[in-house]
Amino acid sequence: MVITQLITSFIAASGFGILFNAPRNSLIQCGLVGMFGWILYYFLVERGMDVVPATIFAAILVALLSHICSRYYKMPIIIFNVSGIIPLVPGGIAYNAMRHFVENDYYTAIQLSTQVILLAGGIAIGLMFSEVVNQVVRKVGRLRG
Amino acid sequence: MEETITIEKICMLAGKIMLVSGAETNRVEDTMNRIASSLGVKNPQSYATPTGINFSVDVAATTNSLRILKRSTDLHKIAEVNDVSRKLTAGSIPIHEAFRQLKAIERENSEYPAWVQIIAAALVSGCFTIMFGGTWEDFLPALIAGALGFTGMLTFERVVEIRFLAEFFGAFLIGASAYLFVSMGFGNALNMVIIGAVMPLVPGLHITNAIRDLMSGHLVSGLSKGVEAMLTAFAIGAGVAIIYAFV
């Protein structure tokens, strides 16, 4: 079961890399970043954690890995970030929410939309958090140096 | 005077390519300012929104503006512009060479031909069905419906200028084909097939980017990107819901 999740999330993340026209030599890294993020999320949710904090932790992991990749391969971080975060993005729920709106089921639709906003906010917080840590590390290093 | 014009031109061109390729406004402004500072501008002012760029070399200097109508996601070009800007800032290439390279990047086609993207969209659809808890019986129907929907969106986008209509049409194709497959007994959970197949169209990235922009203080870009994402999600939801309305 976990192996299925690993393989599908790898293909999904690198497939999105192709849809977003990521450079050819970054596709495998994109897939790996997405895979690790999704697996962390999957484990946390399996262990009974709520989806929002699980998304935040997974997003932090994705951002950290993207930072490492962008340093190592000298490419802008957005390449790894964007494809890596895709499995966590609440696209499915966003679509579901809109479907309920269109079907006049406003009660469920509002609930789902709120969840979308929270999850998107969680992803943004996760991404920002690692950026802030990165900046702080750099600034502290400069102060010491 | 001659040089000032070139600085503005190169900054605008770099900003334009990045914005059209879907970079965050933060990064666009940062790159433009960096290029300008490396060319000796003390106080560059840049203001980017998803629909346009303003740039001037000083607070009271002439302001250049540029309208942006079409946006897509093209990470390859962002990486290349970043590379040029890095070289320019490091001083390893002269300004006219950088300008020539940027022009070449602007003319480039996308990294992958359409058929590769369609195959990628198909695989993404199938894999998301499994990731969201679907069974393997739903894998193939989602794969085919996803490929059909993405192809439909690409073709329709060439005919009609309005992107939301293209997305609506793509989602409609997905809903129709998924319904046909499931009613023929090919795949069992209609919802799972559809959710996987619409993933290549869903604006998940825009939602996240919008919130990131809002948090970093780019309020105008954040709001407009959020609205764009909402409209896209609405178009997709409506396209699929037509099917639900008729069955």
Contact B213, B24 (CB under 8 A): yes
pLDDT at A60 over 70: yes
Residue B216's pLDDT is what?
79
Spatial distance between the Cα atoms of A27 and A19, rounded to a whole number of angstroms: 11
Query: What residues in A contact B212, CB-CB < 8 Å?
Result: 124, 127-128
User: What is the percentage of chain A residues whose pLDDT exceeds 70?
Assistant: 99
Nearest Cα to Cα of residue B73 among B166, B197, B204: B204
Q: Cβ B128–A92 below 8 Å, yes or no?
A: yes
For residue A93, name the pLDDT band (cuts at 50, 70, 90): confident
- Domain boundaries, given as residue ranges, for chain A: 2-144
Contacts of A128 in chain B (CB under 8 A): 212, 215-216
Q: Is the pLDDT of residue A57 over 90?
A: yes
Q: In Å, how far is B70's CA from the nearest CA of chain A?
A: 15
* Of A66, A21, A17, A117, the residue nearest B74 (C-alpha): A21
For A16-49, the DSSP string reads HHHHTT--GGGHHHHHHHHHHHHHHHHHHHHTT-
Res B146: pLDDT: 92
Cross-chain residue pair B127–A12, CB shorter than 8 Å: yes
Q: Which residues contact B88 (CB under 8 A, 6 or more apart)?
A: B10, B35, B38, B39, B95, B98
- Say what the pLDDT of residue B145 is: 92
- As a whole number of angstroms, the longest Cα–Cα distance in chain B is 72
Distance from CA of B96 to the nearest CA of A (A): 23
The residue assigned the tokens 């990486």 is B79
Short-list B38, B75, B78, B29, CA closest to B56: B29
CB B22 within 8 A of CB B71: yes
Show residues of chain B in contact with A91, CB under 8 Å: 198-199, 202-204, 207
The terminus-to-terminus CA distance of chain B in angstroms comes to: 68
CB contact under 8 A, B124 and A15: yes
Does A76 have pLDDT greater than 90? no
Q: How far is B8 from chain A (nearest CA, A)?
A: 23
Give yes or no for a contact between B116 and B144, defined as CB atoms under 8 angstroms apart.
no
Helix B190-198 to helix B139-159 angle, to the nearest 10 degrees? 40
Classify each residue of A44-62 as buried b or exposed e, where b means 16 or more C-beta atoms within 10 Å of its C-beta: beeeeeebeebbbbbbbbb
pLDDT at B1: 40
Q: What is the pLDDT of residue A37?
A: 93
pLDDT band at A107 (very low <50, low <70, confident <90, very high): very high
Residues of A in contact with B78 (CB under 8 A): 76, 78-79
Task: Chain B: give the shortest CA distance to residue A98, in Å.
Answer: 5
- Which residue, among B20, B28, B75, B179, would best test binding to A if mutated, counting the most A CBs under 10 Å from its CB? B75
* Record: contact B120-A19, CB cut-off 8 A: yes
Residue B58 DSSP label:
S
The answer to whether B153 and B169 have CB atoms below 8 angstroms apart is yes
Structural domain spans, chain B: 2-107, 114-246
Which of A82, A87, A99 comes nearest B240 by C-beta? A99
Residue among B70, B157, B62 at smallest CA distance from B106: B70
Would you tell me the crossing angle of helices A27-46 and A2-19 to the nearest 10 degrees? 140
Q: Which residues of A touch B127 (CB under 8 A)?
A: 8-9, 11-12, 15
State the pTM of this model: 0.85
Q: What's the full length of chain B, in residues?
A: 247
Task: Determine contact: B203 vs chain A, CB below 8 A.
Answer: yes
Picking from A25, A52, A81, A95 by the largest number of B CB atoms within 10 A of its own CB, the best residue to mutate is A95
Best of A73, A80, A98 to substitute, by most chain B Cβ atoms within 10 angstroms, is A98
d(CA B154, CA A85): 24
Chain A environment of B238 (Cβ under 8 Å): 98, 102
DSSP-derived secondary structure for B172-189? HHHHHHHHHHHHTTSSS-
Alpha helices (runs of H) in chain A, residue ranges in sequence order = 2-19, 27-46, 51-73, 77-85, 91-102, 106-144
Can you name the residues that pair with B64 across neighbouring β-strands? B55
The Cα of A53 is separated from the nearest Cα of chain B by a number of Å equal to 16
A27 touches B: beta carbon within 8 Å? no
Q: What is the pLDDT along chain B (247 residues), one digit of tens a residue?
A: 455 557 888 889 999 999 988 888 888 898 999 888 888 888 888 899 888 899 988 888 788 888 988 888 888 899 899 889 888 888 888 888 888 888 888 888 878 888 999 999 999 999 999 988 888 888 999 999 999 999 999 888 888 878 889 999 999 999 999 999 988 888 888 888 988 898 888 776 777 778 778 877 889 988 988 888 888 888 888 888 888 777 7
Complex confidence, ipTM: 0.85
Give the pLDDT confidence of A36-56 residue by residue, as tens digits: 999 999 999 999 999 999 999
pLDDT for res B170: 92
Q: B231 to chain A: nearest residue by CA?
A: A98
Helix (H, G, I), strand (E, B) or coil at B56: strand
Lowest model confidence (mean pLDDT) among A9-18, A118-127, B4-13, B231-240: B4-13
Side-chain half-sphere of A83: how many Cα atoms within 13 Å?
37
Task: Specify the amino acid at residue B164.
Answer: F
Chain A residues in contact with B27 by the CB 8 A cut-off are 76, 78
Contact (CB<8Å) B208/A85: yes
Confidence class for position A125, pLDDT limits 50, 70, 90: confident
CB A34 within 8 A of CB A81: no
Q: Do A19 and B212 touch (CB under 8 A)?
A: no
